[in-house]
């Protein structure tokens, strides 16, 4: 059992029940980048010792929904005791202790670290906190996860993908109800915005730069990236277009006597459709690239005279 848990979840030490036989049943449902597991077990104690995870898939947060029995979790100097229906989360890579004194059942949602961090600032401060399952967002989220586990066998891949995104959004809302106020005030969004813009700048000349490429490069979802950029009144690709046009304008404003072709400028900054480039340039700056270049050359000539 220790080998199975170590392979599927995290490296742990297991203390079996002092009375009766050890029983543990796991059903694991792949959920895109997530995994939803249904677990039934006799009394057990599980302890994660300080050490690095064996696999990248273990670099995850676990969300727990207690279905029956008693369950306590210790992490980060806190202990949470759940009642059936309640939820909590913990960091699978860091030391923790789970104690279940009798027969119990639960759901575990395994979430890659980036998948949760990009949805809620300060998630690292939310481990071992009780999310009540009898009211509010916690009740909605717990019921949603329970229904998904019950219907997992009848869901298509497309439905699973859509539901997993909804699940993360619900979980983020639930965590925000128990997150410490100081954690909510962290600089997560400004740091994320700086990372997005830095990646765009490094790849601005690549005509293949698209939302999927940026999402992969910065480890965030495209939806979260657009949400971050909305603070500046832009979407990701509008921001990319604006930056490319600014660089093209700078190149077209080259001093008189500089040999420069409009086509070369457009291709240099990632445009592969000249009509789209010309139209976008005129919409942003009020004149065509050719008129802008000629105007700048004329002004430069007159100043030099």
d(CA 288, CA 249): 11
Q: Is 84:142 a contact under the CB 8 Å cutoff?
A: no
In the predicted structure, residue 183 carries a pLDDT above the cut 90 = no
d(CA 72, CA 80): 6
**SS3 state at 251:** helix
Q: Which are the contacts of 66, defined by CB distance < 8 A and separation ≥ 6?
A: 82, 83, 84, 85, 86, 87, 104, 105, 106, 133
- Distances from the Cα of 219 to the Cαs of 77, 192, 224, in angstroms? 29, 10, 10
For the chain, the residue count is 305
In the predicted structure, residue 286 carries a pLDDT above the cut 70 = yes
pLDDT digits (tens, 9 = 90+) for 46-58: 998 766 444 445 6
Q: Give the residue with greater pLDDT, 168 vs 58.
A: 168
The pLDDT score that the predictor gives to residue 51 is 60
The pLDDT score that the predictor gives to residue 56 is 44
pLDDT digits (tens, 9 = 90+) for 99-154: 999 999 999 999 988 778 777 778 888 999 999 999 999 999 999 999 999 998 89
**SS3 state at 248:** helix
The pLDDT score that the predictor gives to residue 102 is 94
Biggest CA–CA distance in the chain, Å, is: 99
d(CA 138, CA 158): 25
**Residues of the chain with pLDDT > 70: what percent?**
90
pTM of the model: 0.61
State CA 118 to chain mean position distance: 4
pLDDT digits (tens, 9 = 90+) for 70-103: 999 999 899 999 999 999 999 988 899 999 999 9
What angle do the packed helices 188-202 and 236-252 form, to 10 degrees?
50
In the predicted structure, residue 185 carries a pLDDT above the cut 60 = no
Average pLDDT over residues 193-213: 90
The pLDDT score that the predictor gives to residue 255 is 66
Q: Which long-range contacts (CB under 8 A, 24 or more apart) does 222-225 make?
A: 223/165, 224/118, 224/119, 224/192, 225/196
d(CA 49, CA 93): 9
Res. 61 pLDDT band, cuts 50 70 90 = very high
Beta-strand (E) ranges in 101-196? 104-112
d(CA 34, CA 164): 7
d(CA 32, CA 97): 28
The pLDDT score that the predictor gives to residue 82 is 97
């Amino acid at each position: 059992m220790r080998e199975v848990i170590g392979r599927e979840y995290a490296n742990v030490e297991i203390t079996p029940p002092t009375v009766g036989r050890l029983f543990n049943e796991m059903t694991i449902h792949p959920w895109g980048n997530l995994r939803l597991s249904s677990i039934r077990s006799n009394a057990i104690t599980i302890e994660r010792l300080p050490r690095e995870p064996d696999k990248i898939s273990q670099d995850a947060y676990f969300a727990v929904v207690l279905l029956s029995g008693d369950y306590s979790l210790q992490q980060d100097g806190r202990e949470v005791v759940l009642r059936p229906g309640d939820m909590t989360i913990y960091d699978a890579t860091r030391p923790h202790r789970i104690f279940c004194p009798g027969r119990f059942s639960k759901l575990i949602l395994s979430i890659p670290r980036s998948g949760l961090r990009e949805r809620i600032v300060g998630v690292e401060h939310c481990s071992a906190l009780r999310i009540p399952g009898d009211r509010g967002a916690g009740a909605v989220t717990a019921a949603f996860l329970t229904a998904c586990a019950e219907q997992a066998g009848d869901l298509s891949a497309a439905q699973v993908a859509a539901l997993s995104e909804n699940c993360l959004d619900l979980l983020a809302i639930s965590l925000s109800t128990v997150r410490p106020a100081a954690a909510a005030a962290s600089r997560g969004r400004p740091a994320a915005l700086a990372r997005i813009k830095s990646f765009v700048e490094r790849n601005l000349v690549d005509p293949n730069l698209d939302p999927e490429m940026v999402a992969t490069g910065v480890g965030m979802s495209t939806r979260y990236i657009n949400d971050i950029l909305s603070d500046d009144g832009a979407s990701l690709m509008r921001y990319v277009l604006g930056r490319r046009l600014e660089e093209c304008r700078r190149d077209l404003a080259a001093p008189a006597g500089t040999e420069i072709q409009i086509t070369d400028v457009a291709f240099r900054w990632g445009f592969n459709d000249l009509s789209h480039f010309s139209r976008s340039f005129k919409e942003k700056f009020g004149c065509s690239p050719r008129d802008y270049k000629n105007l700048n050359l004329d002004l430069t000539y007159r100043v030099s005279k």
